[in-house]
Amino acid sequence: MEGPRLSGIGMTSARTRERLVQRLLEQGITDERVLDRIRNVPRHLFMDEALASRAYEDTALPIGFGQTISQPFVVAQMTAAVLKAGEASRVLEIGTGCGYQTAVLSPLVAEIYTIERIASLLTRARRTLRELRIRNVHYRHDDGSVGWPARAPFDGILLTAAPHAVPPALFDQLKIGGRLIAPVGPDGRQELIRYIKTEARIERQSLGLVSFVPLLSGLQR
């Protein structure tokens, strides 16, 4: 699948995007910073032109390689969750995918470290983000389950694919007071969870049911 270009077509009118933002407000997304990013990030550029007319629907869509671009509500929910109750200067993203979540988060934190196991997706995401002049992202083609220990600790960690249980290495790379947001569980029965690391333990809060592709190990070209 050919990657999106800045000249790509799509339902890009302000009215179309505002309808999406209003839908997210009605579903409980209240962080104005996050809503503003959903309003302004050109989601149609992160998918194939054949699907661009559906870009501002609140739904997940295929991006090739068995992966999806996440539903805008879930992207907004995860972004708000990692920012809540503290600053998030350095964030690790496990699963770059097409780069849409990265783009939404990018101006809200100082640095993003993003890992993708599928090299072709990573190349495409890097190109799109570069064309959007997003400069605070560090990329790595690697197995996301091991994290990025050389750049740890992180204020926040986002998983955009679902493990059955969060790999312990990721909790090790989280700062005290940091937040880890992850869909956890088997296919079709996943729960979005915010973990907060304290001096004594890992606290857990459910954010609702979700559906994500599974977190897989190993590298793919």
- Could you read off the pLDDT tens digit of each residue along the chain, which spans 221 residues? 444 444 444 446 788 999 999 999 999 999 999 999 999 999 999 998 889 889 999 999 999 998 999 999 999 999 999 998 667 899 999 999 999 999 999 999 999 999 999 999 999 999 999 999 999 999 999 999 999 999 999 999 999 999 999 999 999 999 999 999 999 998 878 999 999 999 999 999 999 999 999 999 889 88
**pLDDT score of 12:** 62
Instruction: Indicate which residue of 7, 13, 53, 70 is catalytic.
Output: 70
**pLDDT score of 151:** 97
Task: With beta carbons less than 8 A apart as the criterion, state whether 213 and 162 touch.
Answer: yes
Catalytic site includes residue 89: no
**Coil/strand/helix, residue 95:** coil
Amino acid in position 109: V
Tell me how far apart the alpha carbons of residues 207 and 77 are, in angstroms, rounded to a whole number. 8
User: pTM here?
Assistant: 0.91
What residue has token string 């009215």? 15
CB-based contacts of 186: which residues, under 8 Å, 6+ apart? Answer: 164
**pLDDT score of 6:** 46
CATH hierarchy code of domain 67-210: 3.40.50.150
